Chain A
Amino acid sequence: MSLKTFSRGGVHPPEHKLSSGLTIEELPPPDVVVIPVSQHLGAPAKVLVKRGDQVLIGQLIAQSDGFVSTNIHSSVSGKVLKVDQFMDSSGYRKLAVQIEVEGDRWMEDIDRTDDLVKNTVLQTADIRKKILEAGIVGLGGATFPSHVKLMVPKGKTAEYLIINGVECEPYLTADHALMMERTDEVFAGILVLMKGLGVDKAIVGIENNKPDAIAKMKQVVQGSNVLVQGLKVKYPQGGEKQLVQALLKREVPSGGLPIDVGVVVFNVGTAFAAYEAVNKNRPLIDRVVTVTGKSVEKPSNFLVRIGTPVSYLVEKAGGVPGNTAKVINGGPMMGKAISTLDIPVVKGSSGILLIGENEARRKETQTCIRCTKCVTVCPMGMEPYLLMTLSEKSLFERMESEKVMDCIECGSCSYTCPSSRPLLDYIRLGKSEVGKIIRARKAV
């Protein structure tokens, strides 16, 4: 088997996949859930319920408000306690719906059986509509509304569907577990997305640190137009531009999207959610979340309802270990430390990582020694040291001309820097400032 990988940059952080090979454990709903109305990129959804309303599992509680936006459903049955501001993973309080769990009452039109439904009755346009109705977003972490991706803009054609089973972040195993346990469903989901996109070729990219998943996926796709391709382990292969380059040797142009080279990329988790939505009429109300860390008693892959507090998950994994210094929402490379465990699991939560004192401490920042390691590892071919300096000096126009908006925020530069410089922190700051400049220019 020949293995592929992307050509430019990349790093090899230690994998630490502690929860690898563990089965997905379905957690019962907690007593109270908090469901934010903005769990996706784009406009927040419009709340449809008010205090005191009774809701069912799968009921629409907030409606898509604009083209780049999506629906939000209740993940539990019970009574709406409050529609108010609640702390979410951004570290700020945002609008959310708080629901007290009562009983286990589902919307009637949801197919709750375990039967595999291979046949997709819906046609292309209806699949797209269903994906929007079910509130499906990219579950890899970026949470871009999936129905938008399925609508190929005029003048462009989709040739390939790429399914991202790379999971290159250290520690995280949610996608791996999904591919092992719901292989048939993931495959059916791939077929749904192919039909929704109107393409007849699909490639599943999986890194070869998951040989069992590669073998299992290869087995189910036999006799179809879906190809399973093993990939050499290298971070950040799960970035869609890197994955397209690794699999097809096509370079997504600066400022462009994979569709510019005829490709649309979806995560494995998104394929599974699409299967549930289209073939089983089940909206996105739960997801697989890895709870892990070296000192965590029981690292696990949990299937949890959206809105479940992180503290509940951590408790089920054996509680917070004594030496914990940081809790990270996501993986160690791209995730963000959270200041409280009282935040809900949202559609984009892929993992909760608890790290100890010695790992969590940042090393002292020293001066740049011009070693250009950051330039070597940058998968987008940028100059992180320069971008950081520009950001420090608030030279944002210059940052824009240095194509800072192409940065995928993978953190390889900060990871590799021998002077422990917080390169990504400053580049992110620059990106948000440049974003403001671009928006202001568009508004004029």
Chain B
Amino acid sequence: MSQIIIYTIITLVAIGSAAAIILYFVAQKFKVYEDPRIDEVEESLPAANCGGCGFPGCRNFAETLVKSDSWEDLFCPVGGNETMARAASILGREAIEQAPRVAVVRCNGTPEFRPRVNQYDGSPTCAIAHSLYAGEGGCPHGCLGLADCVVVCAFDAIHMDPKTDLPVVVDDKCTACGACVEACPRDIIELRKKNKKDRKIFVSCINEEKGAPAKKNCSVACIGCSKCFNVCPYEAITMENNKAFIDSDKCKLCRKCVVVCPTNAILEINFPLRKEKIETAEAEASE
């Protein structure tokens, strides 16, 4: 009886060792060298796999970071400078700092400013509505309000405001991955430089029509009058296709443009009340 056990053990050990030797040589022959730093870098990334960096996932981005000589155009918007610095320290190199950005919805066509002239009952996606007509408000560049941007957001950072029918970005959650920018068929959403206290000044309209038809559909449309362009001391504003655009990298938040805009198309957000506005508010209160 014990003999059988011994033979069995010997046979199994022999087969096992033979297999181990064969496998060892096969593994040597077909070995694929992978830089161990890729794993380390991947672990330092946010693992959101959102595609905000322009690569299919965090793994691909980590590979590219390890292999690339130049890190220009390589940036993880979700992790920001902190993540990039961590990845850089693993690889023993310098990270290129980028100013943090945030998504901004450039349309202020609430039902109040842009009355609805028809009713859409087709498929509830912006992409299809955009391919069919100008929209319920009649503005061919305005927000369609069907929330394609909300659907694609992986960070729960954008939602629809039922009162205004417009998407609202939660600045603290937004990682500037750019998914909503891509999803919007009308290119309404833009990634702009993040300022202190989330202050923002931007032209909340991208209508390219001439003044009269733009104003006809929406009372807060940019009519391309160039008043803001003329008043800006920092050359941050450009006029093109009947609309103004404020470059967030050049803007110094002086708010001069906001005052001159005749249609209130330029919005200032998270600023303290102006002096004259405080005075009028106080006057109203005292009355």
Residues of A near any B CB (own CB < 8 A): 85, 87, 90-93, 336-340, 360-362, 365, 422, 425-426, 428-429, 432
Given contacts A362-B122, A426-B128, 16 further A-B contacts (CB under 8 A): A85-B209, A87-B134, A91-B132, A91-B134, A92-B133, A92-B134, A93-B213, A337-B132, A339-B134, A362-B121, A422-B122, A422-B123, A425-B123, A425-B128, A426-B123, A429-B127
Chain A residue numbers with a CB within 8 Å of B131 are 428-429, 432
Interface residues of B in 125-139 (CB under 8 A from A): 127-128, 131-134, 138
| A365–chain B nearest beta-carbon distance, Å | 8
Chain A residue numbers with a CB within 8 Å of B128 are 422, 425-426, 428-429
Are A85 and B213 in touch, CB under 8 angstroms?
A: yes
Chain A residue with the shortest CB-CB distance to B119: A325
Chain A residue numbers with a CB within 8 Å of B117 are 339-340
What is the bound-complex CA distance between A426 and B123, given in angstroms?
Answer: 8
Chain A residue with the shortest CB-CB distance to B152: A394
Chain A residue numbers with a CB within 8 Å of B140 are 92-93
Which 4 residue pairs are nearest across A and B when measured between Cβ atoms? A91-B133, A339-B118, A422-B123, A425-B123
Among candidates A90, A361, A428, residue contacting B133 with C-beta atoms closer than 8 Å:
A90
What is the bound-complex CA distance between A313 and B127, given in angstroms?
Answer: 32
Are A336 and B121 in touch, CB under 8 angstroms?
A: no
Chain B residue numbers with a CB within 8 Å of A339 are 117-118, 133-134, 138
Residues of B near any A CB (own CB < 8 A): 117-118, 121-123, 127-128, 131-134, 138, 140, 209, 213
Chain B residue numbers with a CB within 8 Å of A428 are 128, 131
What is the bound-complex CA distance between A410 and B119, given in angstroms?
Answer: 24
Chain B residue with the shortest CB-CB distance to A87: B134
What is the bound-complex CA distance between A340 and B119, given in angstroms?
Answer: 11
What is the bound-complex CA distance between A141 and B123, given in angstroms?
Answer: 24
- Check A361/B121 contact, CB under 8 A, given A85-B213, A93-B213, A425-B128: yes
| A421–chain B nearest beta-carbon distance, Å | 9
What is the bound-complex CA distance between A338 and B132, given in angstroms?
Answer: 9
What is the bound-complex CA distance between A339 and B116, given in angstroms?
Answer: 11
| A34–chain B nearest beta-carbon distance, Å | 14
Q: List 16 A-B contacts (CB under 8 A).
A: A85-B209, A92-B133, A92-B134, A93-B140, A338-B133, A339-B118, A339-B134, A340-B117, A340-B118, A362-B121, A365-B123, A425-B128, A426-B123, A428-B128, A429-B131, A432-B131
What is the bound-complex CA distance between A123 and B111, given in angstroms?
Answer: 60
Q: Which of B123, B131, B209, B213 has the most chain A CB within a 10 Å cutoff?
A: B123
| A100–chain B nearest beta-carbon distance, Å | 19
Chain A residue with the shortest CB-CB distance to B127: A429
| A213–chain B nearest beta-carbon distance, Å | 34
| A32–chain B nearest beta-carbon distance, Å | 17
Chain B residue numbers with a CB within 8 Å of A336 are 132
Chain B residue numbers with a CB within 8 Å of A360 are 121
Chain B residue with the shortest CB-CB distance to A86: B213
Chain B residue numbers with a CB within 8 Å of A87 are 134
| B232–chain A nearest beta-carbon distance, Å | 29
What is the bound-complex CA distance between A340 and B123, given in angstroms?
Answer: 20
What is the bound-complex CA distance between A338 and B140, given in angstroms?
Answer: 14
Chain B residue numbers with a CB within 8 Å of A338 are 133
What is the bound-complex CA distance between A275 and B131, given in angstroms?
Answer: 36
| B198–chain A nearest beta-carbon distance, Å | 31
What is the bound-complex CA distance between A405 and B76, given in angstroms?
Answer: 37
| A22–chain B nearest beta-carbon distance, Å | 30
Chain A residue numbers with a CB within 8 Å of B123 are 365, 422, 425-426
What is the bound-complex CA distance between A85 and B123, given in angstroms?
Answer: 28
What is the bound-complex CA distance between A428 and B131, given in angstroms?
Answer: 9
What is the bound-complex CA distance between A346 and B70, given in angstroms?
Answer: 56
What is the bound-complex CA distance between A422 and B127, given in angstroms?
Answer: 14
What is the bound-complex CA distance between A401 and B133, given in angstroms?
Answer: 28
What is the bound-complex CA distance between A337 and B128, given in angstroms?
Answer: 13
Chain B residue with the shortest CB-CB distance to A425: B123
What is the bound-complex CA distance between A90 and B138, given in angstroms?
Answer: 12
What is the bound-complex CA distance between A371 and B209, given in angstroms?
Answer: 47
What is the bound-complex CA distance between A422 and B140, given in angstroms?
Answer: 23
| B131–chain A nearest beta-carbon distance, Å | 6
